[in-house]
Structure 1
């Protein structure tokens, strides 16, 4: 993921905000207008070259599935998406949740888990508005990105089931739905003994 930069993320996010397709006017109306014509064209060419956007006949740009899968695929765990964002550069919580189109509370909870696992760290940054919490990836987080399945292989089935139970308990669904899911998982756990 380290071949993606902040501008790549900003352009891709613009496309995601615009339902996968954006045009010159969308760029002009966004914060990306600060780049000027030359840098904008360079960035668009770079994204196209890396198969992250496609140029349509009508002059619009479409985000490719390859690009969508990096940050916005629902099959990719939130922890991996957060690590990918932070692999680009340090961001505050608000920016991370905005770029990922995820609930800020969910992102914060996952960030706290990542901090406890020492994959990311929080650094205070003094700004005009006061102190801002910036999150950045650590070497262990980069290693996790390079081999995301490594940690799963070292855990036994019961540990994975216990983690899953904890995550289900934190979901924002009815208690009845939670209990139904938890009962099924408990049955699986009992059968695997």
Structure 2
């Protein structure tokens, strides 16, 4: 029952739509009507407000980390893993927005860093290396997510493989349109308009 409570709390923390809150507070309009309609930092950047995009990135990654750290402190490692996975789920499918949320990349990375920082840093490095080579943000996210369970296994953290697989599957689902564009060569590169 305690684990269910931590999972529910993680979901609620993860479901806070910081991108939407920040853009509305700054008078930038409804983020869901801008660009891709996504509530994440990449779409906030399309408003032209870089500080708002950075704030969204930090808060979206931070909410995954906070859910993990709170659950670990009060409930132990299993609670932390469940809360982290639930926070990611909450970001992707927030109850407040009719279960239409973001793609979860920042929350994924923040969650992994809090769960086991070497794993999180390797996932970040994978994203960055792929981005430098391909100049495609979505491909970078997909690579980091797909390799996270492998990295968890290689680092001897078999307890994190399942949550990494769960997150990876959801990231692939949330990026289905990007995958289609990657396959047909129409996915925009970083720094270019779609």
- When normalised by structure 2's length, the TM-score is 0.27
Q: Which has the higher strand share?
A: 1
Query: More relative contact order in 1 or in 2 (CA 8 Å, sep 6+)?
Result: 2
The higher radius of gyration belongs to: 1
